[in-house]
Amino acid sequence: MTEKGIELKIACLREGIKQCELARAVGVSESLISMVAAGERHIDEKKKKIIARILNRPLETLFD
């Protein structure tokens, strides 16, 4: 898991949001969120911005 992936998981925990809830809010599968956190997949900028907004974090703290 990448450093950014760890930040993504920590942000979910701090906000009390499960990966499945985040995935549903973004409109992607839970497995995609898991793969993004693990650094195995990438998502488009629009979805990155949605995730950052939901998790109340600056985009650059969650994604490269």
Q: Which CATH superfamily is domain 3-58 in?
A: lambda repressor-like DNA-binding domains (1.10.260.40)
- 2-55 confidence digits (pLDDT tens): 898 899 999 999 999 999 999 999 999 999 999 999 999 999 999 999 999 999
- Domain spans, the chain: 3-58
CB-CB contact of 36 with 48 (8 Å): no
Per-residue b or e along 27-61, where b marks 16 or more CB atoms closer than 10 Å to that residue's CB: ebeeebbbbbbeeeeebeeebbebbbebbebeeee
What's the predicted TM-score (pTM) here? Answer: 0.90
Per-residue pLDDT at 2 = 84
State residue 4's pLDDT score: 87
Mark out the alpha helices in 1-64 (DSSP H runs). Answer: 3-15, 19-26, 30-37, 45-54, 59-62
Q: What is the DSSP letter of 57?
A: -
